[in-house]
Amino acid sequence: MALEHMARGKSVLIASRKDHAVDVIGQKIETLSGDKGSVIRGGRKKYLAELKTSLQAILSGMRGRKKAVTLQGYGEQRTIKLTQSIESIEGNLEISESVFNKRSEQEKEYAKIQKKLSKGGFQLISKIRLYVLQRRINSRKESFGALIKLIEHRIDIRNRDVIKRIGIRKDARVHEVLATNRKTLMDFLKSLRARTGAKQRDILSKLDIGMILKTFPVWMSKNSDIHDNMPLIPEMFDLAIIDEATQCDIASCLPILQRAKRVAIVGDPKQLRHVSFLARSKQAILALKEGLGAEVADQLDYRSKSILDLAEETITEQKRVQFLDEHYRSRPDIIQFSNRHFYNSSLRIMTQKPEVTHSRNIQVIQCNGVREKNGVNKNESEKVLQLIQDTVESQSHLAPEYSQSIGVSTPFRHQSDYLSELIFREIPIDAIQKHKILIGTPHSFQGEERDIMCLSFALDAKSSATAFRYMNQPDVFNVMVTRARVEQIVFLSINESEINKNSLLASYLLYLRGYYQEPTCGQLSQLPDSAHPVHDALNKAGYKVWPSFDVAGLEMDFVIQIEDRTLGIDLIGFPGRFEDAFSLERYKMLKRAGMRIFPLGYSEWERSQQGCLEAIRDF
């Protein structure tokens, strides 16, 4: 959304409660746009230092290799050419999609006629239709596979041109500001160099903020730093994006809403809300003082409602709600419990691939520990420490960028504090930094992720009912079990039989016992007769073959693998349940999941099985 608005010369404010949430988005924008100079990151001193350096370079004329595109008229000419190229590619993509859909229908028609003729008898009309259809099929300039390759190539070129156009337009705007309003940028630099916040805000309030936003279209900040980073000008930004919105209370978002014409509120209602220390009695007094009726006071309940809750209650049109259903973080077994239990199985798990399907990425370690009166389980803590030490030792020869990050989460503050003290005492600081070790309650991990997550539940059979109830909160449990990318280790000091069967922990352990016994793909007996020759030929050609394999919530006709390369096969027109083709949108989605798809037409297979196998190998 930020890049799209930036491409159209619009300004964007991105805000959230924590630095980490906005840092991740800033890094994505810089990576995709290839330009660190488009984003202003307010808050920490290091961000201000980077901004001052960037602004000084602009004012000094040090624009690097991009300077040429800002010459008078050149940027506009390049933008026009790129726009024409993008529009042409998009037109060709529409034509290609139409051709793909038309061919898919021809394949289905071809199979139906063949089936009819195989029943025997004099069927002149069917033979004529088959003759005409075969001529159309034989006149194709390229195969299905070649058509998909062409579409992929055009999408790559379009995306590259879009990013180029964003950069050129941004550079052209900077050139315009330097040519006509250089003093505004100079005064902005003075405000950044001001020694006091009051002086900085005074200078900022007198600037033409529109010129600043032309130069730096994307601003990012923690909610609590907004007042230090920008003046309070109504609707100064075209769009505000509030991320991790369940963590953002309503009050701290008001300064963001005031500064924007439109807002996108992004968050997960199944995850943790902000923690409030405002007493209910104090909140009731404030509502009474301001003359709020019961309905409004409930809607603006600071203690229990986030800005996401307020937005959901306020929105009147369902079309304004979008569910982001593609999950990229975790291995399938790590995320599947939450997908089923909290998200109504609506997530498309984009990490679902044959090489990870059979691996057990979750293990449960019974520690037989005791939860002491202070809430600490020392036995679990020692086991967690041992695992971290073993990981650090086994990866001691690896550079930091190849080492796995490690997280330790527990529902309880006292256990978290004890683990922190133990681990920071026993693990060298360089190893802590190398493995990005983070220890905390689920609240510490909202918006975070690690390659390896250690979960210390710290409970024993004698723990209080209050402790069990807290751990059974859906948002706490959901965040706790979904932070791992690759491996999750669960440390327990309680037997499964001693846990309330209706609790989330019992459901989770039951899920783990059953998940690894589930079939990961269909059986050969379920394949339609027309697909068996394809399966046998692929096997004979040396591929590992998985029929009816689930990828991102979609049934792929075949998934094949050789060495470390994996490919999906979409059978098109093959009689039976595999006759329909995936839409091109699904091809794009599965490519985002890291799975390229080869479309195999029934007529192509009938004409030359060897030719199809060679095309698959080339693809």
Tokens of 332: 């399938």
Q: Within 10 Å of residue 29's Cβ, how many Cβ atoms?
A: 20
pLDDT at 64: 54
More confident residue, 515 or 378: 378
Q: What is the mean pLDDT of residues 199-211?
A: 79
Contact indicator for 107, 603 with CB cutoff of 8 Å: yes
Tell me the helix, strand and coil percentages in the chain, rounded to 5.
Answer: 55, 15, 30
Q: Is the pLDDT of residue 133 over 80?
A: yes
pLDDT at 187: 86
Question: Of 226-240, 251-265, 502-516, which range is least confident?
Answer: 226-240
DSSP letters spanning 327-363: E-SS-HHHHHHHHHHTSTT--EETT--HHHHTS--EE
Confidence of residue 617 (pLDDT cuts 50, 70, 90): very high
Q: In terms of domains, do 528 and 491 share one?
A: no
Maximum CA pair distance of the chain? 95
Tokens of 485: 């990318």
Q: In terms of domains, do 451 and 536 share one?
A: no
Q: In terms of domains, do 338 and 444 share one?
A: yes
For residue 443, is it within any domain? yes
Q: Which of 515, 543, 577 is the last residue of a domain?
A: 515
Q: In terms of domains, do 428 and 570 share one?
A: no
Q: In terms of domains, do 567 and 508 share one?
A: no
For residue 5, is it within any domain? no
Of the CA atoms within 13 Å of residue 586, those in its CB half-sphere come to 17
For residue 302, is it within any domain? no
For residue 153, is it within any domain? no
Q: In terms of domains, do 510 and 597 share one?
A: no
pLDDT in tens, 454-478: 999 999 999 999 999 998 999 999 9
For residue 575, is it within any domain? yes
Name the DSSP class of 551.
E
Q: In terms of domains, do 488 and 536 share one?
A: no
For residue 316, is it within any domain? no
pLDDT at 68: 42
Confidence of residue 26 (pLDDT cuts 50, 70, 90): confident
* Burial class of residue 33, CB neighbours in 10 A (0-12, 13-18, 19+): buried
CATH number at residue 547: 3.40.960.10
pLDDT in tens, 139-167: 888 889 999 999 999 999 998 898 888 88
Q: What is the mean pLDDT of residues 250-276?
A: 93
Give me the amino acid identity at 157.
I
Q: In terms of domains, do 374 and 501 share one?
A: yes
Give me the amino acid identity at 216.
F
Q: At what angle do helices 144-193 and 609-618 cross, to 10 degrees?
A: 20
More confident residue, 24 or 436: 436
Q: Is the pLDDT of residue 573 over 80?
A: yes
Q: In terms of domains, do 481 and 345 share one?
A: yes
**Residue 564 sits in which domain range?**
524-618
Question: Of 76-80, 547-551, 605-609, which range is least confident?
Answer: 76-80
pLDDT at 74: 60
pLDDT at 40: 81
Q: Within 10 Å of residue 373's Cβ, how many Cβ atoms?
A: 6
Q: In terms of domains, do 534 and 492 share one?
A: no
Q: Which of 488, 515, 542 is the last residue of a domain?
A: 515
**Strands 237-242 and 218-222, sheet pairing:** unpaired
Question: Of 66-70, 145-149, 226-230, which range is least confident?
Answer: 66-70
Question: Of 8-12, 119-123, 236-240, 265-269, which range is least confident?
Answer: 119-123
Domain count, the chain: 2
Confidence of residue 191 (pLDDT cuts 50, 70, 90): confident
| CA 47 vs CA 37, 41, 54, 586: distances in Å | 12, 6, 11, 40
Q: Which of 486, 515, 544 is the last residue of a domain?
A: 515
In whole angstroms, give the CA distance from residue 171 to residue 215. 8
Q: How much is the pTM?
A: 0.84
% of the chain surpassing 70 pLDDT: 95
Q: In terms of domains, do 467 and 596 share one?
A: no
Q: Is the pLDDT of residue 421 over 60?
A: yes
CATH number at residue 347: 3.40.50.300
Q: In terms of domains, do 497 and 563 share one?
A: no
For residue 115, is it within any domain? no
Q: Could you give the 3-state DSSP secondary structure of residue 563?
A: coil
For residue 192, is it within any domain? no
Q: Is the pLDDT of residue 528 over 80?
A: yes
Q: Spell out the residues 6+ positions from residue 287 whose beta carbon is closer than 8 angstroms to its own.
A: 297, 300
